[in-house]
Amino acid sequence: MPPCLCGSLQTQSTPRHATLRVHVYPCPSVVKYSGFPTFPVPKPHLYLLAALLAALGISHFSDRIDPYHLDVLTGIGINIILAVSLNLVNGYTGQFSLGHAGFMSVGAYLAAAVSLFLGPKLLGPEGGTALQQGCMFLAALVAGGLGAAFAGLVVGVPSLRLKGDYLALVTLGFGEIIRVIFQNVEFLGGALGLNGIPAYTTIFWVLAFVALAVFVVTCLVNSTYGRGFLATHDDEIAAEAVGLNTTHYKIVAFVIGAFFAGTAGGLYGHFKMTITPTGFDFTKSVEIVVMVIMGGMGNTLGVILAAVLLTLLPELLRPIAEYRMIIYSLLLIILMLVRPQGLFNFKLGKAKT
């Protein structure tokens, strides 16, 4: 194969004439052809693959982990999914939603209904093989996530033209409406909730969806398209002035956040094996909002650390059960007074100058 040559043109002008010079030299950027095409894999995809392999490895040795510690780790993973998904709405897009527990309940009930009512018909009386159960569980989680995403779309289209406190009130009302609906639908157990949900949730599924949620949110906000979320957060009026449809970005954030909240609800229902409407009330929404605020709005790593801390803190205070919630509340108040910008609101690396 002949060598690759690169060139450049230079023009020199004089008062009477112009001289054109051509410089030819070997191209230094030529990569030798090895016979096999190479396809570079982006780093986020490699991190996702590594996280999935790590989840598979942890799941393989989960029988050696203390059951109590495994339950706590599962709860941490579910809260991370909830906090990271809400951070896309409240942190990166700059909205204020108080109805995340409502989306979680939609996913939990829909996924549980698929497993309870559709599962026996597809898997048979024997319950099917482990692979069939895994596929059934994945389908139930996706169904729960899509149902929650649709609920997010229904709520988002009419309400996301509102801002600030008005949007918070609308999302709060949505969460309460969903809770009351589930509480009065006898087909879904009514006030007693759904019981006997198959225990399909394992540490692998939880860690896999944690990795997927972090991957999607991180790649989305760091992409060219995702800059629209940050522009909506920084100055919505200026973003609209340059042609951005801020309502569109808010709806997309709501739908994606609701989808992952729904999958977290499905994981929660198949972990606890029973769900009730009171488990998805206003208190649960506030708990998720506190994780986002403590971790630092728009800081994925900080939100993850806050979710871990706020899940472990009640467990660490369990020996003093009668004072546990009082101490827990006082610690939150102190942290908000000392670090109003968030306990873990820091950036990795040095800022560019």
Distance CA 217, CA 222 (A): 9
Taking the C-alpha atoms of residue 59 and residue 323, their distance in angstroms, rounded to an integer, is: 35
- Quick check: helix, strand or coil at residue 76? helix
The pLDDT of residue 316 is 84
CA 159/CA 140 separation, integer angstroms: 28
Place of tokens 């790590």: 54
Class of domain 43-338: mainly alpha
18 φ, ψ (degrees, to nearest 5): -115, 140
Which 3 state secondary structure label does DSSP give 274?
Answer: strand
What integer pLDDT is reported at residue 39 of this predicted model?
A: 58
Q: In whole angstroms, what is the distance from residue 336 CA to residue 348 CA? A: 22
Name the 3-class secondary structure at 233. helix
H/E element, 209: helix 203-221
Three-state secondary structure call for residue 16: coil
* Contact indicator for 256, 92 with CB cutoff of 8 Å: no
Numbers of helices and strands, H then E, in the chain: 13, 4
Distance of alpha carbon 90 from alpha carbon 187, whole angstroms: 34
Query: Residues 250, 232: contact at Cβ < 8 Å?
Result: yes
Whether 345 has a pLDDT exceeding 80, the answer reads no
Rounded to an integer, what distance in angstroms lies between the CA atom of residue 109 and that of residue 151? 13
Q: Is the pLDDT score of 42 beyond 90? A: no
pTM for the full model? 0.83
pLDDT at 302 over 60: yes
Distance CA 234, CA 228 (A): 10
Least confident of 115-124, 148-157, 158-167, 199-208: 158-167
Mean pLDDT score of the chain: 83
Q: What is the pLDDT of residue 275?
A: 93
Q: 169-178, 187-196, 206-215, 241-250: which has the highest mean pLDDT? A: 206-215
Q: How confident is the model at residue 350 (pLDDT cuts 50, 70, 90)?
A: very low
- pLDDT of residue 21 exceeding 60: no
In angstroms and rounded to an integer, the radius of gyration of the C-alpha atoms of the chain is: 26
CA-to-CA distance for 68 and 63, rounded, in angstroms? 12
Q: Specify the pLDDT at position 37.
A: 55
Higher-confidence position of 320 and 64: 64
Please report the DSSP string for 107-162 in residue order: HHHHHHHIIIIIHHHHH-TT---HHHHHHHHHHHHHHHHHHHHHHHHHHHHHHTTS
More confident residue, 125 or 249: 249
297: closest CA among 46, 91, 89?
91
In the structure encoding, which two tokens stand for residue 313, read together? 């803190």
Q: How confident is the model at residue 31 (pLDDT cuts 50, 70, 90)?
A: very low
CA distances from residue 151 to 137, 138, 147, 156, 180 in whole angstroms, order as listed: 21, 20, 6, 8, 15
Task: Work out the number of other CB atoms within 10 angstroms of the CB of residue 244.
Answer: 17
Percent of the chain whose pLDDT exceeds 90: 35
pLDDT at 250 over 80: yes
Sorted by where each begins, the domain ranges of the chain are 43-338
